[in-house]
Amino acid sequence: MSHMETGPQHVARLRRSLVGLDLALLESWGRSLADVLGGGGRLLAAGNGGSAAEAQHLTSELVGKLRDEREPLSAIALHAETSSVTAIGNDYGFDEVFARQVRAHGRPGDVLMLLSTSGRSENLLCAARAAREAGLTVWGLSGPEPNPLAELCDETLAVQAEGTATIQECHLVAVHVLCAEVDVALGASSRAPGKHGNAPAPLVVVGDALLDHDIVGVVRRLSPEAPVPTVDNAQARTRPGGAGLAALLAARQDRPVVLITALSVDQEGGELADLLRSHDVHVIDLGADGTTPVKSRVRTEDRSLLMLSRASDRRSRSRRRLTGDERDLLLGAAAVLVSDYGNGVTFDESVREALTAAAPRIPVVWDPHPRGAEPVSGVRLVIPNSREAAHFAGGTGTGLVGDIDRAGTLLDRWQTGGVVITRGGNGAVLLESRDGAPLVVPGVPVAAADTCGAGDRFAVTVASLLADRALLAEAVTAAVGTATEFVAAGGASALVADAAAEPARQGGTEHGTTGNDLAALLARVRGRGEEVVAAGGCFDLIHPGHIALLDQARRLGGCLVVCLNDDDSVRRLKGETRPVVPQRDRAAVLASLSSVDAVVLFGEDTPAEVLKAIRPDIYVKGGDYRVEDVAEAALVAEWGGRTVIVPYVEGRSTTGMISRIHDSGSRV
């Protein structure tokens, strides 16, 4: 005859089990969940049977409220999605009903809570594996350990009790305690979801800040004292380097930026701090012994002649630890970028403790250095370049295959959510799991000599997009593009050398490209040793003949500047009925073409004055001209330029188009 438990006996057993409930763990979970949900993240929860009801109880308390009024928090009970559960179960099998939803709804940094009395439900185990692959934090509420679910979770609250009912009752109490701790943590931070006060959560950069000097001039002669180039008209430009450059790049976006670094007490350290603060970077300075690392480059025509480095081989030590408030600021970030330049910040014990605590909660992107510390376990992404990956992982493979092999080695070694190896002009390769296929993002060739800062630009883009909850593949693909654009615009030196470092077509007015933008464009192209190409015309009704002309012209050099007749000029040349399209619209259409880098309007009958200002190396006309008929040919030859004729598309002209329109009875 089986033993029947009386009500008092059941309550007594429940009381004994509740005494062993891990309240410290629930308090820790409450703080972490408040950070995740308060920062715009999401909780996913799932269970079977009675555990399903408790999981749904948890999500309802978060979306609604436990006691006090607060903002609704994002939480989804996966088992309650009956249409999804039945469809997935029918098509993929019952083991996949939660895992597939995790892949659909989960984003890196989110939390998955799995409830099971036995800890052996296969559909929950599959969900845990899917969540870990996607970069989610996995928590479990289970019965006695050991059990398979606890082994797959980052942390587990295991109720050491007999009987399913008692375990589930303890789980329900744990749910209420957890929700109470979330409310306490949110109240302590006094912030609505996704906000720090009224401001977005910051991007925190952690690492070694350097000071970079560029000495820029022109070289026309050798020194009479020795066969070395003489740099004339030299100008000095100073900017933050290392993690300071990463913070500077991040500060050019809308999100607040905090830099945790260690600055030396010297003149250069003070200059570096002033530069960072002048660009709205909030600096947390831990102080460093020794001197500020300084790198100086002597440059001409967008190329470096010499680099001088004043940096000690000895690793600096921080003068103080992170305070509690500074640690909380890091833990409340939208994302963290570790920009390690091997000078000691990543070895600081308080910094590593904070990063270790942050890794399960928020996206942490780690840009390593051969002399720096190893990434802490659990970071979202590590981004060495090919040379650094070879240093860390070894191996004899070369090229893309070698980089993929090393990414797998580092994925295992660092226990990270992903490894992306940047490959310079060849793009990047991302690996998220040993068994998964690598994502290869090809680079776009750029005819530029200064790649300084390209890695920082890549890292900042990835961290910023992960802060906005992008997928790793999305972030890496976008970062390859932004790094390419950064190099094409002149690299780090262009940040100080020219505030208008974007392509000239973006700096125009209704009267054409601004002078500053055009001058910057021409300087960048000539600095790369490439030729400036110009073409001129009315370009009234743009047709395939125009497109072909401009495409061919652009391929002749490093940029194409179109000299465009303004409306008065066209009217004098073509008659009172022209132009059909006003100058502002003609300029806008031309500027939108990928072949055109700048558009300059002129009001004279010929573009002679514009050409004198531009001094193109090549001046292009279409095939319906002969060189001897081009009025500007002699002018271009004065500075050594050439006038060339490119093939023209037969039967295509604006005048002919207008005539055919009139002949057909249409009105223009």
> Which is catalytic among the residues 340, 456, 517, 597?
456
Grouping H, G, I as helix, E, B as strand and the rest as coil, residue 64 is coil
Q: How many residues does the chain have?
A: 668
DSSP 629: G
3-state secondary structure 262-320: CCECCHHHHHHHHHHHHCCEEEEECCECCCCCEEEEEEECCEEEEEEEECCCCCCCECC
Beta carbons of 471 and 509 less than 8 angstroms apart: no
DSSP β-bridge partners for residue 420: 430
Kindly state the tokens that stand for 628: 């001897």
Place of tokens 């600055």: 263
Output the CA–CA distances (angstroms, integers) from residue 131 to 51, 105, 113, 566, in the order listed. Answer: 19, 10, 10, 60
Kindly state the tokens that stand for 644: 């060339």
Following CA atoms 637, 638, 639, 643 in sequence, which dihedral angle do they give, to the nearest 10 degrees? -20
Place of tokens 């744990």: 174
DSSP 504: G
Answer yes or no: 456 catalytic: yes
CA distance 657 to 165: 85
Buried-exposed string 224-260: b where 16+ CB fall within 10 A, e elsewhere: eeeeebebeeeeeebbbbbbbbbbbbbbeeebbbbbb
Smallest CA-to-CA distance from 41 within 103, 106, 127 is with 106
Catalytic residues: 456
